[in-house]
Amino acid sequence: MEKNILNKLNKNKKRNNSTLFLILFGILFVAVVGNAFISRGGMRGGPDVVAEPLEMTFSDVLRRGDEIQTMNIRENVATGVLRDGTKYHAIITYNPELLEKLTKGGTSISIDTSKGWVDYLGTWVPIVMGLFFIWWIFRGMRGGAGGLGRALLGQNPTKIVTGKPKTTFKDVAGIDSEKQELSEVVDFLRDKSKFAAVGARVPRGVLLSGEPGTGKTLLARAIAGEANVPFFAASGSDFSGIIVGLGVAKIKEIFEMAKRNAPCLLFIDEIDAIGQRRSQNSFNDQDREQTLNQLLIEMDGFSNDTGIIVIGATNRPDMLDPALLRPGRFDRQVHIDLPDMAGRCAILELHAKKIKMHEDVNLENLARGTTGCSGADLENLLNEAALHAVRSGHKMVAPDDIEEARDKLIMGPRKIRKMRPEDIKLTAYHEAGHAYVSTVYADVTDPIHKATIIPRGRALGMVQHLPIDDKVSMSLAEIRANLAVALAGRAAEEIFFGADKITTGAESDIEMATRLARRSITTAGLSNKIGLVAINQAQTFGSRVPLENASEKTAEMVDAEIKSWLADAYTDATRILNKNKSVVKKLAEELLKRETLTGDEIMEIVGKKPAKKTTVKKAKVAKK
């Protein structure tokens, strides 16, 4: 109801302002056009003139100068009477010699330099229109959302989503600890009297931060839906505009609307757009700083018992101004991490309820193979699987559809490439090298899931591993084993094709191995030569400054140690493959035949028992 009334008032105000502007602009436009028309017509006379004057050209004036009795000159228009009484009208060019010649011939010449109202109109109309435009802009600044300036520059009203969401905590999975952290906010919105009885102050603002797709917006809607209170949502970019002062007016507008509906929830997404840290020399961002100042006042100013809880969401909390994060404003900060394996499984089960799944689909294995995926990634994965099922003519999502969707998410879409037979063969031996060394270190590394030589994205093939559970750290033995597995592909190329036949296919493997070795040596303190020294310090958003806090001598030692680790790993992989060339060749030949081998098939080929399957839950088939 509140929103409809505001919309009607704004529309009526805009309609009246637009009508007034059109009328004024029309009058000024007619005046300017009339000025141009009259100026072009000169002093021709009106409809009262009975006889039309004789039209003469400048050549006629020069030729018939002795016939002219009088001449009245105004600008470049000459009028007068000939000696026979005929009136004339001519367009001439100012020429002193011509005037002197006419005067000697007996012509009476007069020059009119006076200005009429038409001349004054042509001079002052542009000035008045300019002043009116400036007044219009400043009126839009003072009027905020309803000003004419906004209508001129195409500024839309603040996009405010209102209502009571139907989303609850049941619709949010994988972030149980975060939901527990926000349960107090829900209790306050339901009944704040029990908090007031004890003297407790509920957080006025909650800042949700985390990677994109972790569910910040969904969680905010769930809080409002769980508490059954009005929900106002806007984006940080809605409070910035071309005209100075509009951001402040919009902040006032949305908070006034929220106060009239308190207790309520106000959600500002991407709050870093207006809440960035202020600096001493930010002359170009004064409008943004004024908007931030108004937000600070509204959140904890002179009236601090408004019944409004503000929830902000951002992917970049380190950019926010400290005044925004102090107690009394955003005094509770909740960081939403990427879901762990249990969380991914819960998210998949939640989204799988909307999709018809085959009973053989193993959601727990899918959760194991999607480490580092957000909730949005997992929802997109299941949707891709459903789309693939439709393209394949399946009536429900089968395990093959899930596998195809997961490969597409991790490696990219399947590429149709016309590869040379020798390239396909080399790729098969490359992946066979990875796969075999993985089986040798099966007790240390993650179990192998499958090996494939089907091109996807930029990769010509891949060996995938499925972790048993989420890891928070890696041992030195595990790091050494992973380095050997990563370099086993290049080792297989050299063993089976010769040193002069190695290719650039190991580029990503070498990059990954170098990154793992450098991190282990420079930040984890796993090298005896370098010692327990942190050389690389993590910067904003995970970027790194190479060899920070290190001398040139230490940098050389680090480079030498990294090369030593990678050389040892390559030697280890070469030794293992040389001892088992026949088994590796068998693996490569099977890859050439089938293109894809599962983990159990690989273990069977190398003569080891397949890993025992853990007990998993099967997805229920949705009934029609």
Per-residue tokens: 530? 């370098």
CB-based contact 90:78 (threshold 8 Å):
yes
Residues 6 or more apart in contact with residue 477 via CB below 8 angstroms: 444
Contacts of 615 (CB under 8 A, 6+ apart): none
Using CB atoms within 10 A of its CB, is residue 26 exposed (0-12), middle (13-18) or buried (19+)? exposed
Task: Please spell the DSSP secondary structure of 301-324, one letter per residue.
Answer: SS-----EEEEEEES-GGGB-HHH
Tokens found for residue 541: 């958003």
Q: How far apart are CA 125 and CA 61, in angstroms?
A: 36
87-91 and 108-111 as β-strands: parallel, antiparallel, unpaired?
unpaired
* Beta carbons within 8 Å of 354's beta carbon, 6+ residues apart: none
Please, what's the b/e burial string for 346-381 (b: 16 or more CB within 10 A of its CB; e: otherwise)?
bbbbbbbeebbbbeebbbbbbbbbbbebbbebbbbb
Closest by CA position to 366, among listed 394, 337, 404:
404
Check the CA dihedral 403-447-474-343 and report its sign.
Answer: positive
Three-class secondary structure of residue 607 per DSSP: coil
181: annotated active-site residue: no
Helix (H) or strand (E) holding 63: helix 58-63
In this structure, the strands spanning 108-111 and 462-465 are unpaired
The residues pairing with 276 across neighbouring beta strands, listed in sequence order, are 320
In the DSSP assignment, the letter for residue 604 is H
At 37, give phi and psi (nearest 5°): -70, -45
Catalytic residue among 270, 431, 493, 590: 431
Question: At a CB cut-off of 8 Å and minimum separation 6, what does 520 contact?
Answer: 476, 479, 526, 527, 565
Distance CA 596, CA 339 (A): 29
Q: What is the dihedral of CA 276, 277, 280, 285, to 10 degrees?
A: 0
* Cβ contact 291:297 at 8 Å: no
> Is the peptide bond between 165 and the residue preceding it cis, with omega within 30 degrees of 0?
no
Please identify every residue annotated as catalytic. Answer: 431
